[in-house]
Amino acid sequence: MTEFDLDKSISPNWSPRLKKYNELVWCLEECSIDDLGVWCGAGELPEEWCIGSVRDTVRCIGQALKEGKRFPGRAFDNVSGIVKVVDIILNSQLLAPIVVPGGTWRQPPCLKMKGDIDDGCMRVIGFALSGHEKLKAYVGKSK
């Protein structure tokens, strides 16, 4: 597909993302869980769990698990499934998360990070819960 054909095939609901994606230059690079933030309320997690870095989000999830609580929303099932196959996902470039510049989607009260995870929040949380501090992601940078 040409880029034009691909853009035409994308749903109008995605137009803000499409516009942002086309404004950025993309590369595959290593990222730290300390430099990335998840969507506010990612996977239906409580919003207050999502305002800092991925490490902060995982700390909240870990505390809930330690207390024997099932955290809310679809995140619990998604993350537990990801943890089971984390090495397969980490080793596939086709499954690498997508990261845009910090502050693109996450707004206050979320802290501004180096990058906002645009796609793959549950994957990155699963990586971090499995003890991975770094991951490969497609990172968009301003031209």
| Beta-bridge partner residues of 134 | 32
In this prediction, residue 73 carries a pLDDT of 78
Tell me the average pLDDT across 41-60.
95
Average pLDDT, the chain: 91
The residues near 107 (Cβ < 8 Å, ≥ 6 apart) are 40
Structure tokens, 123:
């994957």
pLDDT at position 72 is: 66
pLDDT at 71 (0 to 100)? 67
Q: Residues 7, 14: contact at Cβ < 8 Å? A: no
pLDDT above 70 for 16: yes
Task: Give the highest mean pLDDT range of 6-10, 47-51, 70-74.
Answer: 47-51
Residue 59 contacts by C-beta under 8 Å, 6 or more apart in sequence?
none
pLDDT 10s digits, 64-115: 888 888 766 788 788 888 999 999 999 999 999 999 999 999 999 999 999 9
Q: Residues with Cβ < 8 Å from 138, sequence gap 6 or more?
A: 26, 27, 28, 96, 97, 98, 99
Alpha-carbon distances of 141 from 25, 61, 76, 90, rounded to whole Å: 5, 30, 31, 22
Express as a percent the part of the chain with pLDDT over 70.
99
pLDDT of the residue at 13: 75
User: DSSP label at 43?
Assistant: G
The domains located in the chain, with CATH, are 25-142 (3.90.1530)
Percent of the chain with pLDDT over 90: 69
